[in-house]
Amino acid sequence: MKDSTSELATEISPFLYLEEVTATAVEAGKLILRHRRDARVIAEKGDHGKDASPVTAADLESNECIINHLKVLDPDIPIISEETQLADYETRKSWRRFWLVDPLDGTKEFVRGSDEFTVNIAFIEDLEPVLGVIYLPAKKLLYYAQKGRGSWKQAGRRPPVQIFSSIPDLGQGLTVVESRSHPSPALESYLKDLPIKERVAAGSSLKFCLVAEGLADIYPRMNPTMEWDVAAGDCIYRNSSRLGQRSSSLTYNKPSLKNDSFVIGLK
């Protein structure tokens, strides 16, 4: 593992690009942490009003770090990031392979002082996330997966451990993980007919990871998301099965990159 991941153990297997990408996520996370005492919103983008997405200096610095490292890995692979200008669909639609990046997922949580913000990096191949890395800088917690190689969790200096999820038994009741920042009447309507045992609120892409490691059964999201919000977590979730892959309805490289509602974990 590179020097920038000295806080993490070195036992990560040399999957395609994985060592470099995990090192990049950790380096970006360190840059983000430098801004914790001055986490001011410097711009907003997207829809106006309550759904506008905040931007901080940490978002931009993390983005620059990740983009620069991915270009060194292979300058011919396109990169889609939340903080860079999006290529039009006519250009993108022929892409077979590309990176999908959210340099600081959970900016609202970051600004509020919560620890639940992440660095998300995914590699998309043939419209499927085949590599996913999520790093929680404030917790020194790393999740990663590659298609066919399983999903893994690494806490600080400890060795990585493989994580698993399974289709829940409705008769036992469901543990639901939901967005801390995006409650909705649609979510309440969806949940009212399910046997709910517990509801857990969490921020950022951490919600995917909680399902992937079996700490939650399902993650329903009724509010819109963008592909960079979900790709790394979706990869980690998909590859958390003990046999084959978990089912996911999420799709990639759509004309708008916007996702409507989705539920992961039931199948």
Please give the average pLDDT of every successive group of 10 residues along the chain, which has 267 residues.
Answer: 40 63 98 90 59 84 98 94 96 96 94 94 96 97 96 96 97 96 91 96 96 98 96 98 96 97 96
- Residue 38: per-residue pLDDT: 83
Query: At how many degrees (to 10) do helices 57-73 and 18-33 cross?
Result: 160
- Residue 46: per-residue pLDDT: 56
- Distances in whole angstroms, Cα of residue 259 to Cα of each of 225, 231, 247, 249: 5, 11, 16, 10
Express each pLDDT in 48-85 by its tens digit.
333 467 899 999 999 999 999 999 999 999 999 999 99
Do 38 and 121 lie in one domain? The reply is: yes
Binding-site members are 82, 102, 104-107, 229
Determine the Cα–Cα distance for residues 240 and 236; give it in Å rounded to an integer: 6
- Residue 16: per-residue pLDDT: 66
- Residue 252: per-residue pLDDT: 98
Do 52 and 19 lie in one domain? The reply is: yes
Copy the structure tokens of residue 168.
């829940």
Q: Give the residue from 124, 140, 162 where a domain finishes.
A: 162
Binding-site members for substrate are 82, 104-107, 229
Do 183 and 230 lie in one domain? The reply is: yes
Residue with tokens 């889609």: 80
Which DSSP helix (H) or strand (E) runs through 118? Answer: strand 118-125
Do 42 and 145 lie in one domain? The reply is: yes
- Residue 211: per-residue pLDDT: 98
Do 150 and 245 lie in one domain? The reply is: no
- Residue 159: per-residue pLDDT: 96
Do 237 and 247 lie in one domain? The reply is: yes
Do 173 and 150 lie in one domain? The reply is: no
Express each pLDDT in 173-208 by its tens digit.
999 999 988 889 999 999 999 999 999 999 999 999
Do 170 and 155 lie in one domain? The reply is: no
- Residue 149: per-residue pLDDT: 94
Binding-site members for Mg(2+) are 82, 102, 104-105, 229
